[in-house]
Amino acid sequence: MRVIDIEKLTRDYGSGKGIFDVSFQVNEGEVFGFLGPNGAGKTTTIRHLMGFIKAKSGRCTIRGMDCWQERCKIQEHLGYIPGEISFFDDMTGTEYLKFLAGYRRLKTANRMAEMMDRFELDPKSKIKKMSKGTKQKLGIVAAFMHDPEILILDEPTTGLDPLMQSRFVELLAEEKSKGKTILLSSHIFEEVERTCSRVGIIRQGKIVTLDSVEALRKRHVRAYQVTLESEALARSFAADFGGSCQGRTVTVAARQSLEDIFMHYYGGGDHDERDPV
């Protein structure tokens, strides 16, 4: 079942900025990785989903509800971590979480304590004085505390140390096993590789590829055929390099890492040529 459905979403900011004809779906219980270089249009797409901006052309829905028209209803079951965290600086972390629970009219913020323990968050200081990592943790707690069924996470591990990043990946795996639907925009390949079943890559506002992580890897496998002098030699070569052996001919595959695949789509060469300095 489609939970998040984006169809031909276009928003032109002029001079090549914006998103163009973006279409993809995220199904129930799926973790979808949304990847792209800076300024590719990830946050613009997410703003549409959150109902912050109205679709100029195309449409996007969550559970069949229009993201702009029915934004209030959608938000009931949604958790969101903004790409750029900005809270009320004058509050302490504790006050902020308490405020949010009241503001959302939560009867119980049942996961607040659990999330604070998990990320070792000490929310007693003023938000203004918090480090980037601490603010990010506060953002995570705020997004998960009402135990939402759909999560839209815009680069959620920015500023977290590797230990906390890995705890976050664990958390996502747990949420996935509970059947939550997650849209994760990210730059960290490991994070995506470990959590996402499908990925969409956006570049210069257009979706350039949309596939499962496995299929993406397979498509980028390069196979080599090597012919050796004797069958015995071929057999041991096949054993050493993990290839398959047919007589004196051995086929070996070079598996690209996901990072290489992403770099391919991010487009090293031709992308850089666009903006001569």
The nearer residue to other proteins, 153 or 201, going by C-beta atoms, is 153
CB of 184 to other proteins, least distance (A): 16
Contacting residues toward other proteins, per CB under 8 A: 47, 50-54, 71-73, 75-76, 78, 80, 82, 84, 86-90, 99-100, 102-105, 142
DSSP letters, 220-273, are T-EEEEEE-SSHHHHHHHHHHHT-EEETTEEEEEEPPPHHHHHHHHHTHHHHHH
- Whole-number Å distance between alpha carbons of 182 and 160: 19
Strand partners, 27: 2
The secondary structure element, H or E, covering residue 191 is helix 189-195
CB burial of 159-187 (b: ≥16 within 10 Å; e: otherwise) equals bbeeebbebbbebbeebbeeebbbbbbbe
The nearer residue to other proteins, 54 or 255, going by C-beta atoms, is 54
CB of 55 to other proteins, least distance (A): 10
CB of 80 to other proteins, least distance (A): 5
The nearer residue to other proteins, 43 or 169, going by C-beta atoms, is 43
CB of 218 to other proteins, least distance (A): 37
Strand partners, 21: none
CB of 70 to other proteins, least distance (A): 11
